[in-house]
Copies of this chain bind each other. A is one copy, B any other.
């Protein structure tokens, strides 16, 4: 039988599953869930030496939900706005790499994905940051809103400093004139970050802008004056310091005109610590969000997670913990109206029913391959 050389492609991935028991926005919860520490993925990557320090690189990364076997980690808009089934939901790019850094084309991470050094839960779904940045619609987040289609990205690391920049043409390739001559379909995005990582200290600053010139709804872009929206602008600063007995980290971020809605402003801060204890680490984070709606009151959701992670090897770990989020009694109708939740899930959006808290204990394992 012929033996094929496997020199060009590396297969890698994550399988991360956990069980959680408790309450999800007031409903009894008991399930297997994906990605307590890192979202499950299967990836294919390679690089080729082209000489003179130049390399060709490619990466294809499929996110999946281990609890269902379905694809995951592509935003609803990215999925609906393009034809085909969801495959390389996390990343797909090809590029050139050298001493100058890397330039690549495809579906790629915005800089906002990489705020994980300032989060004690490294962007995992059990932490406050993953929970509340998604709830608040912030594009600087460790989840789907920070993966951008049709993008050109630059990444460079020079000693302790790394720079990232990205421009995405959005999901709409053409910029059509609407019936009134207005350009009704521009959904470009752009982002930059500057990070410092040296010894015990990590610092970072990130900025992202996302245009919403026409709203994407029901599978198409709407060309009406009422849906000619604003540009969401997000920024974040974060820091982490390893004191030896513990690493302490924190971040502050702010989003203006969230979802392109004029005057819908959201900010979020989080403090956390990772404390080595015996063979594992205790992890703790507390985060608080302020949602400033154009009309109506402000809401201040808050969330904390206390967890313990123990490595069984360099590639495998088990983890347990407790997560709590209080949505500050936001009415279901408000949450659905602004798009903070995808569905009312059986709750009334007309009678004044408020969102109950989420609280669950979890236990799981992650295996990297």
Interface residues of A (CB under 8 A from B): 1-4, 6-13, 15-19, 24, 27-33, 40, 42, 44, 46-51, 54, 56-58, 60, 62, 64-72, 74, 76, 78-79, 82-96, 105-107, 147, 149-152, 169, 171, 173-178, 183-185, 223, 312-313, 315-316, 345-346, 364-367, 369
Complex CA gap A315/B50 in Å reads 10
**Structural contact, A67 and B367, CB atoms closer than 8 A:** no
**Structural contact, B94 and A367, CB atoms closer than 8 A:** yes
Complex CA gap A87/B72 in Å reads 10
Complex CA gap A253/B332 in Å reads 47
**Structural contact, A105 and B32, CB atoms closer than 8 A:** yes
Q: How many copies does the complex hold?
A: 3
**Structural contact, B175 and A4, CB atoms closer than 8 A:** no
Find A11's partner among B44, B92, B223, B364 (CB 8 Å cutoff): B44
Complex CA gap A185/B151 in Å reads 41
**Structural contact, A47 and B2, CB atoms closer than 8 A:** yes
**Structural contact, A92 and B105, CB atoms closer than 8 A:** no
Complex CA gap A138/B50 in Å reads 39
**Structural contact, A175 and B27, CB atoms closer than 8 A:** yes
With a CB–CB cut-off of 8 A, which chain B residues contact A84? 64-65, 68, 70-72, 74, 86, 89
**Structural contact, B85 and A71, CB atoms closer than 8 A:** yes
Complex CA gap A224/B147 in Å reads 40
A258 to chain B, nearest CB (A): 22
Complex CA gap A163/B3 in Å reads 28
A57 to chain B, nearest CB (A): 8
CB<8 Å pairs between A and B, sample of 7: A1-B48, A11-B44, A32-B169, A66-B94, A94-B365, A174-B345, A178-B346
| Additional pairs, 6, CB under 8 Å, beyond known A58-B369, A70-B83, A86-B87 | A2-B48, A19-B105, A51-B313, A60-B64, A70-B84, A105-B365
> Given A11-B11, A87-B70, is A50 in contact with B316 using a C-beta cutoff of 8 Å?
yes
